[in-house]
Amino acid sequence: MSITLDQVTKRYQGSPVVNDVSVDVGEGEFFVLLGPSGSGKSTLLRAIAGLTGVDHGRIALHGRDVTHISARQRGVGLVFQNYALFRHMTVGDNIEFALRVRRMKAADRLARRKELLRLVALEGMDDRLPTQLSGGQQQRVAVARALAHKPQVLLLDEPFGALDAKIREELRRTIRQVQRELNITTVLVTHDQEEAFALADRIGVMNLGRLLECGKPDELYARPATRFVATFLGAANLLLARQTAQGIRFGATPVNIRALEKIDGTREHEVVAVLRPEEIELAPTRDNLRVNYMGLGVVEEMVFTGALERLRVRLTNGAAEAQITPPGDAAASTAMLEVTRTQHEQRTFPVTLGQSVALGVRRIHVLPTPLSSYTVCATQKAAAERLASHPFLTELASRMKTRIATRTEPALAEGTDAETPISGVAVVTPGVDTAKQIEWLLRNGAAEVLVLPEQLLPPQRVLIHWANDAARRPTLAVAASLLRHVSAEAVYVGILPEGASDTQRPVGMRTLLDARSEAQAMHGLEMRTELRFGSAAEELRRQLNDAPDQMLILGISDLADLHQNFAALFSTPPPFALMVVYRPAGSSGANER
């Protein structure tokens, strides 16, 4: 491996800007770190270059651990967004800088300089000053300069940011060419997905300091695992759907299409479906559709962009009940679909504004995320609405691009059942009978329950614990899904009974290690582990009391656990956020990631 990052964490004033990032970049690979501004991608690049120290983790270049080696000795080439050329030196002197520092002979320097200038197509520009060059030329000089000392890896920090579109494309081609010719391992940081697609062998998408997903561009686009990647890489319509053994259902409308992924048929449940705008077909009526019908709609907006036509279609039936989340606008309650059509499609069926159309879908991708939506439950309407505007919850929902529904359940925690099953994550405030409420919600269809105290800051640390092995997988899946949207540190707490025998201890340790590697391998979630001794509930409560701003994710497979093993957690209303994950023993978790 050319570059190996192992659990790299960088904190700034206490909060992590790069959070437990592990990735391997192969020899000669062009790796693109993609993310919005503030996602920590530039900090990570600077950490690889050695310009920023890391608080935790290890960085290795070609097998050599360089975590504590200065930028000077790392042998990397770095290119900056603003070129960072030495303006008092000529192009030639700029390129030769690294060689002069290394006291290379003048003749050798000259030869290397000529070679590099040829590489970036700037022959004969040796004696110009940087100020006499255009932006694109300056960046070429910067690339040549960064390559002068034959670095092991080339790092590029938004190198096209300051250039206009045409130059950008030209320089992009040059960089790709140079990279191929030298076969140098390259990491490029950008916020532009088009750039990432054009250059990358592999893309790593970052958000909130975490590396969410890595993969080949086409795979990431077709099969994203997270809402963030689905919407950040190109446009995506996110819909809440029910997944059944027969297929996917939007509200009452079954879409006779099987998701590409293996379907968990044992349990009908809410899922998040991704519909790419180009996978939606329009036709005058349902019968004219060549693909699976999903509903009727009215064309509300049309934009012609040259090659493609972009439409926004308001759904009037069918999937309209599926509570669609329109791209980039989670708050809108209307079911609006974004559709793009090619010239050919436009000619086959021209549409006008306000026209009624039938919609069909060619392909649906179901996100393997267990947290689909939130349903706030309370005995009174006012209380439910108050909780629905909880800052942490609204923040979470907006980051997950999902919705918060409210439900008034007078029977909450009483004997009678709810009229219709609760879908998604049920949210309640803590009270004296929290344990009972959780049990009631879990009995009434909720797969997870989030207990949210009114006064709560976003957690800095999330503790994870499961009651028994059966609850392990779903709990990890929920934790991974949640932690993609919360900038916090994850800690799995394993607890052995007090006075555990010597034979039990190694087993406990192995459980920790297994949990960690499963989290990493299946969910890309980096978490720390801790082993404790004592009663599980009391140990957890003690840790949660230690510091404010913590959260607990608790996995159970038996509702009785709430009143037995974990009763101590609920003896007083919990002042921390608590997510209870419940999967009855024996249910399959094939779809959970």
Partner 1 sequence: MSSFRQPSILPGFGLTLGFSVFFLCALVLIPLAALVMKTATMGWDDFLNVLFDPRVLASFRLSFGASLLAATLNGIFGFVIAWTLVRYDFPGRKLIDALIDMPFALPTAVSGIALTAVFAENGWIGEHLAPFGIKVAYTWIGVVVALTLIGLPFVVRSIQPALVEVQRDLEDAAETLGAGRFTIFRRIILPTVTPALLTGFTMAFARGVGEYGSVIFIAGNLPMKTEIAPLLIVIKLEQFDYVGAAAIGFLMLVISFVMLLSINLLQTWGRRRHVAAGR
Chain residues that interact with partner 1, rule: CB under 8 A: 46, 49-51, 70-74, 76-78, 80, 82, 84, 86-88, 90, 97-98, 101-102, 127-129, 132, 142, 145-146, 148-149
- Angstrom distance (rounded) from CA 284 to CA 350: 10
Residue showing tokens 């009785």: 560
Residue 85 vs 361, nearer CB to partner 1 = 85
Residue 10 vs 269, nearer CB to partner 1 = 10
With CA atoms as reference, report the closest residue to 314 among 296, 287, 294, 340: 296
Residues with Cβ within 8 Å of 546's Cβ and at least 6 positions away in sequence, in order, are none
- Angstrom distance (rounded) from CA 198 to CA 42: 20
Question: Smallest distance, Å, CB 463 to partner 1?
Answer: 36
Q: Is 401 left (phi over 0), alpha (psi -120 to 50) or beta?
A: left
Residue 104 vs 167, nearer CB to partner 1 = 104
Question: Smallest distance, Å, CB 38 to partner 1?
Answer: 19
Question: Smallest distance, Å, CB 131 to partner 1?
Answer: 9
With CA atoms as reference, report the closest residue to 396 among 323, 458, 328: 458
Report strand pairing: 153-157 vs 292-304: unpaired
- Angstrom distance (rounded) from CA 52 to CA 47: 5
**Phi, psi at residue 7, to the nearest 5°?**
50, 45
Report strand pairing: 248-250 vs 237-243: antiparallel
Question: Smallest distance, Å, CB 81 to partner 1?
Answer: 8
Ordered DSSP codes for 57-76: EEEEETTEE-TTS-HHHH-E
- Angstrom distance (rounded) from CA 78 to CA 189: 11
For CA atoms 320, 325, 327, 331, the dihedral sign is positive
**Phi, psi at residue 219, to the nearest 5°?**
-70, -40
Question: Smallest distance, Å, CB 208 to partner 1?
Answer: 25
Question: Smallest distance, Å, CB 153 to partner 1?
Answer: 11
With CA atoms as reference, report the closest residue to 32 among 285, 269, 265, 217: 217
> Alpha helices, DSSP H only, in 8-129?
41-49, 71-74, 91-101, 106-119
With CA atoms as reference, report the closest residue to 411 among 386, 388, 435, 444: 444
> Alpha helices, DSSP H only, in 183-224?
193-199, 217-222
Q: Look up residue 385 and give its two tokens.
A: 């609405």
- Angstrom distance (rounded) from CA 414 to CA 192: 52
Residue 142 vs 556, nearer CB to partner 1 = 142
Residue 188 vs 577, nearer CB to partner 1 = 188
Residue 72 vs 166, nearer CB to partner 1 = 72
Q: Greatest CA separation found in the chain?
A: 90
Residue 149 vs 267, nearer CB to partner 1 = 149
Question: Smallest distance, Å, CB 98 to partner 1?
Answer: 4
Hey, what amino acid is at 405? A
Question: Smallest distance, Å, CB 127 to partner 1?
Answer: 6
Catalogue the E-assigned strands of 80-190: 153-157, 185-190
Q: What angle do CA 226, 228, 234 make, to 5 degrees?
A: 110
Residue 57 vs 130, nearer CB to partner 1 = 130
Hey, what amino acid is at 192? D
Residue 92 vs 326, nearer CB to partner 1 = 92
Residue 33 vs 214, nearer CB to partner 1 = 33
Residue 92 vs 215, nearer CB to partner 1 = 92
Question: Smallest distance, Å, CB 202 to partner 1?
Answer: 23
How crowded is residue 171: how many other Cβ atoms within 10 Å of its Cβ?
20
Question: Smallest distance, Å, CB 95 to partner 1?
Answer: 10
- Angstrom distance (rounded) from CA 296 to CA 286: 8
> Alpha helices, DSSP H only, in 235-310?
none
Question: Smallest distance, Å, CB 87 to partner 1?
Answer: 7
Q: What angle do CA 39, 41, 45 make, to 5 degrees?
A: 160
Question: Smallest distance, Å, CB 301 to partner 1?
Answer: 42
Question: Smallest distance, Å, CB 120 to partner 1?
Answer: 16
Residue 46 vs 465, nearer CB to partner 1 = 46
Residue 80 vs 392, nearer CB to partner 1 = 80
Say which DSSP state 444 is in. Answer: T
Question: Smallest distance, Å, CB 132 to partner 1?
Answer: 7
Residue 97 vs 533, nearer CB to partner 1 = 97
